[in-house]
Structure formats: structure tokens, C-alpha cells
């Protein structure tokens, strides 16, 4: 796999790479700030860091959300590299996509993923768990594999450890790729959920006794499942998801924030908003701080000399204050400029990119959607209902926050409203 380089672009080819859409910004090997990272003013991730560093009786759980493309994955990586977090916690960051099918996710999958990551990543650091705990884990592994381990005597603990490492390393892949295995594993876990949680907590205790840091699990991409899956995990099974005796930050679907079930996670929730580019009810008044943040997002990745004067402002305006949308507009515009052998990205390239996004929405918005979008464009009022929720998830409607929550339509849609 090619090593990612964070180099400011002097040409279109390098710039194209720098605006890869699914590229969370990893910190440097010693925890130093990624050169492309933007620390937005009033960053809510600082609130989460403060909450994690506060005293507690039980390791805290938090529910982290935000609209698609607002930078959640990058902010979690930034949190993980914070020196104070590193001192207090033993952080583990992973994507739930790696271990299960996110379209068929279940709370049992998440618990198994937590157990697997705690075990495997601790082993990867060259540390050994207590022999008795290894044997208990081995017994549970045997139960999951539908056989009972009856003879531990005569087997070296190193052999048990190696066998467990292979099991946990492969469990996630089997959950993801083998539906039949996924069903079987869930059935076994269902019969003894408390047993699996007890094993998780024993691993946590063993880690703390050796490392003197509390494990902090940061689970990314759990905002991808639909609302029903999110409800089943974080509302119906909330108490179970709070049981592991380690700190956890769950990413959750923004749709859950627009449902009555939000009450179940309200006290531990944090929402990462989009960047405000104009105040409520006044599209013509620019908020310079918002434009400066997104201008910096672009100019640390590419030389501004590659963009015709004034064009970047229009790209920012069309983005609606969503980082990923701006990256998409810039990347699509760069592609068109390259094909046209242009020396610089022109306004025509940005307008073409905006029209491409607009045409995508034309295919999926119906008459009732258009009616609601016109109302939102005129009022900016955030009134939650079943029809608004999917429009928010599609980014056809964008939420903003200052003293109060409000919303607006995606800027590319104004021409069809």
C-alpha cells in the first residue's frame, strides 16, 4: 500500500491526491499534529477531551455524532493523539466496518469487536495477560466454536495465547464476510452476554494492572447504520452498551439525534456541527470566520496559485460549510480543469461541479421533498419530522448551530427551488 504523504500541492496531480474524500487525517508517529489538520474555533472535540479528562467513578461513555463529511473520523484521531489523553488512557481506535457488515450490525457484534480489539492490540504491544484470564478466554473461545476445552493441562500458556490471538484476529473478518457464522456467533453470545462483558472487564482490569492506564475505545463508522439499527443498539440495548468497564466513545447516526429515542443518550452526547458561512435568515451576509476556516482547509493542501482569483470563495459557498463537500467540489473541479488542460481552476469548473451534485439530487428528490426544501429555504426553521430526517442524512438539508439550532438547504439546490 502506498504511504500517504501530506505535501502541499504545486500541481493538479498532487492536489487531486490531497483531496481524497475518505482520508481521515492521522497524527504523526509521535503524536504530532497532521499538517493538513484544521482546528476549528470552538471545536466541540475539546469539550469531549475535557469530559474524558474529568474525574469519574466509572469509566465514561460518550456518543459522538455529526453530519456526513463534517470531520468526525479526523477529530477522533486528533483526540487519540492528545498527550493528556495518552497519559490517562490506553486508546484504541478502529472502524466497525473492519469487523462486521454495517448494514446488518447488532449490539453483539460491537461487544465482540471490543473484546477482540482489547485482546489483539494489547498482544501486539508485546504484553501478556494473566495466565488464568487466558484460560478463561480460551474456555469462552471453545464455547463459541461449539466445542468444550476439557484439557488445559499439558498446553503451554503461550500456545493458548497464540490460539486466542488467531481467534480474535479472525472473528471480525468472519462476522463481516460469513453471514452463517455471524448468526451462530450471535446465538452463542446471546446465551451469555453477561459472560462476554465479564471477560471484557477482566481484560480491562488486567491491562490497567500492568499498564496503569484505562483503555479508551474509540469506535468509528457506527454512524453509518440506519436509524432502526441505531435504535436497536443505543436505545433498546443502551444498558448493555454501558457495561464494559472501560471508557468508550461510540460514533452514532445523526438520525438518532432527530428521533425521540435521542433521550436515551442525551446526557452523554456530542454533535460536531457544520461550519457557519452565513447567519440564520441572511444568505447574503458572509461570516468571515467560516470562510477563513474553509479557505485554510484548501490552501494548506494546494497552492492557491492553482485557483483563479475569486473562484475559491464560490467553491466554499457551494460546500455549505461541510468539509467533505468542499473536498468533493475541489476534486471534481480539478479533474475538469486537468481534462481541459487549464493552468488554473476556473469558475466554470466549480459551476460544473455544483451542477453535478445538483443533478444527483434531482434523481432522488420527489415533489414533497421539494415542497419541504422550499419551506426550509424561506424559514431556516429546524422542525423535526420523518420526512426531514432523510434529507438531513442526504445533506440536502444542512444543520447549523450558534445560540440555537437552525438549518438551510444545500447551496447547490437553490437554483432548482
The CATH number of residue 93's host domain is 3.40.50
* Residues 233 and 267 reside in one and the same domain: yes
- Specify the pLDDT at position 151: 34
Q: Is the Cα dihedral 369, 103, 321, 218 positive or negative?
A: positive
* Residues 155 and 200 reside in one and the same domain: yes
Q: Is the pLDDT of residue 149 over 60?
A: no
The band of 166, judged by pLDDT with boundaries at 50, 70 and 90, is: low
Q: Is the pLDDT of residue 1 over 60?
A: no
Quick check: is 28 in a domain? no
The band of 23, judged by pLDDT with boundaries at 50, 70 and 90, is: confident
How many angstroms separate the CA atoms of 145 and 84, rounded?
Answer: 40
* Residues 351 and 231 reside in one and the same domain: no
Q: Is the pLDDT of residue 343 over 60?
A: yes
Asked whether 167 and 119 are in contact (CB, 8 A), the reply is no
Final residue before a domain boundary, out of 272, 300, 328: 272
Point out the least confidently predicted range of 104-108, 175-179, 256-260, 413-417. 175-179
Final residue before a domain boundary, out of 248, 272, 296: 272
Quick check: is 279 in a domain? no
- Specify the pLDDT at position 150: 35
Those residues whose C-beta lies under 8 Å from the C-beta of residue 374, and which sit 6 or more positions away, are: 417
* Residues 188 and 309 reside in one and the same domain: no
* Residues 292 and 267 reside in one and the same domain: no
- Specify the pLDDT at position 157: 45
Asked whether 275 and 293 are in contact (CB, 8 A), the reply is yes
Which comes out higher in pLDDT, residue 181 or 407? 407
Final residue before a domain boundary, out of 233, 248, 272: 272
Neighbours of 152 (CB within 10 A): 14
Torsion angle, alpha carbons of 185, 204, 26, 321, to 10? 80
Quick check: is 235 in a domain? yes
Q: What is the mean pLDDT of residues 51-64?
A: 92
Quick check: is 24 in a domain? no
Q: What is the mean pLDDT of residues 368-396?
A: 88
Quick check: is 18 in a domain? no
Quick check: is 401 in a domain? yes
* Residues 63 and 92 reside in one and the same domain: yes
- Specify the pLDDT at position 138: 75
Which comes out higher in pLDDT, residue 255 or 197? 197
For the stretch 172-192, pLDDT in tens is 556 665 666 777 777 777 888
- Specify the pLDDT at position 154: 40
* Residues 198 and 118 reside in one and the same domain: yes
Question: 348: buried, middle or exposed (CB in 10 Å: 19+, 13-18, 0-12)?
Answer: middle
Quick check: is 19 in a domain? no
Q: Is the pLDDT of residue 10 over 60?
A: yes
Tally of domains within the chain: 2
* Residues 82 and 223 reside in one and the same domain: yes
* Residues 201 and 309 reside in one and the same domain: no
* Residues 165 and 125 reside in one and the same domain: yes
Which comes out higher in pLDDT, residue 283 or 316? 316
Please state, rounded to an integer, the average pLDDT across all residues of the chain: 85
Residue 293: φ, ψ to 5°:
-60, -45
* Residues 246 and 356 reside in one and the same domain: no
Domain limits at 335? 288-416
DSSP E strand boundaries for 227-309: 247-251, 269-272
The band of 214, judged by pLDDT with boundaries at 50, 70 and 90, is: very high
- Specify the pLDDT at position 121: 79
Quick check: is 20 in a domain? no
* Residues 223 and 312 reside in one and the same domain: no
Point out the least confidently predicted range of 187-196, 245-254, 402-411. 187-196
Amino acid at each position: 500500500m502506498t504511504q500517504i504523504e501530506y505535501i502541499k500541492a504545486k500541481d493538479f496531480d498532487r492536489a487531486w491526491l490531497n483531496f481524497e474524500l475518505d482520508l481521515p487525517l492521522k497524527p504523526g508517529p509521535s503524536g504530532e499534529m497532521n499538517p493538513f489538520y484544521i482546528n476549528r474555533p470552538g471545536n466541540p472535540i475539546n469539550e469531549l477531551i475535557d469530559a474524558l479528562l474529568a474525574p469519574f467513578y466509572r469509566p465514561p461513555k460518550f456518543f459522538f455524532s455529526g453530519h456526513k463529511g463534517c470531520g468526525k473520523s479526523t477529530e477522533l484521531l486528533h483526540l487519540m493523539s492528545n498527550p493528556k489523553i495518552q497519559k490517562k488512557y490506553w486508546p484504541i481506535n478502529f472502524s466497525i466496518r473492519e469487523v462486521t457488515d454495517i448494514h446488518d450490525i447488532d449490539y453483539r457484534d460491537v461487544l465482540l469487536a471490543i473484546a477482540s480489539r482489547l485482546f489483539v492490540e494489547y498482544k501486539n504491544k508485546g504484553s501478556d495477560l494473566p495466565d488464568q484470564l487466558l484460560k478463561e478466554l480460551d474456555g469462552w473461545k471453545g464455547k463459541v466454536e461449539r466445542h468444550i476445552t476439557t484439557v488445559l493441562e499439558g498446553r503451554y500458556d503461550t500456545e493458548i495465547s497464540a490460539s486466542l490471538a488467531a481467534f480474535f484476529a479472525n472473528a471480525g473478518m468472519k462476522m463481516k464476510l460469513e453471514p452463517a457464522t455471524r448468526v451462530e456467533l450471535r446465538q452463542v453470545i446471546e446465551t451469555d452476554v453477561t459472560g462476554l462483558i465479564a471477560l471484557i472487564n477482566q481484560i480491562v482490569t488486567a491491562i490497567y494492572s500492568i499498564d496503569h492506564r484505562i483503555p479508551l475505545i474509540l469506535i468509528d463508522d457506527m454512524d453509518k447504520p440506519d436509524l432502526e439499527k441505531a435504535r436497536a443498539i443505543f436505545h433498546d440495548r443502551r444498558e448493555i452498551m454501558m457495561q464494559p468497564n472501560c471508557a468508550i466513545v461510540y460514533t452514532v447516526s445523526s438520525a438518532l439525534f432527530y428521533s425521540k429515542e435521542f433521550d436515551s443518550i442525551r446526557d452523554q452526547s456530542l454533535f460536531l456541527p457544520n461550519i457557519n458561512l452565513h447567519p440564520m435568515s441572511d444568505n447574503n451576509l458572509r461570516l468571515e470566520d467560516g470562510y477563513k476556516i474553509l479557505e485554510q482547509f484548501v490552501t494548506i493542501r494546494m497552492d492557491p496559485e492553482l485557483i483563479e482569483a475569486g473562484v475559491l470563495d464560490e467553491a466554499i459557498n457551494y460546500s455549505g460549510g461541510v468539509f467533505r463537500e468542499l473536498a468533493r467540489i475541489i476534486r471534481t473541479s480539478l479533474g475538469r480543469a486537468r481534462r481541459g488542460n487549464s493552468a488554473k481552476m476556473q469558475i466554470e469548473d466549480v459551476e460544473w461541479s455544483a451542477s453535478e451534485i445538483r443533478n444527483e439530487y434531482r434523481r432522488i428528490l420527489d415533489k414533497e421533498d421539494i415542497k419541504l426544501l422550499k419551506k426550509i429555504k424561506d424559514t431556516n426553521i429546524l422542525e423535526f419530522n420523518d420526512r426531514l430526517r432523510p434529507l438531513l442524512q442526504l445533506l440536502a438539508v444542512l444543520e447549523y448551530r450558534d445560540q440555537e439550532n437552525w438549518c438551510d438547504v444545500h447551496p447547490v439546490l437553490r437554483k432548482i427551488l
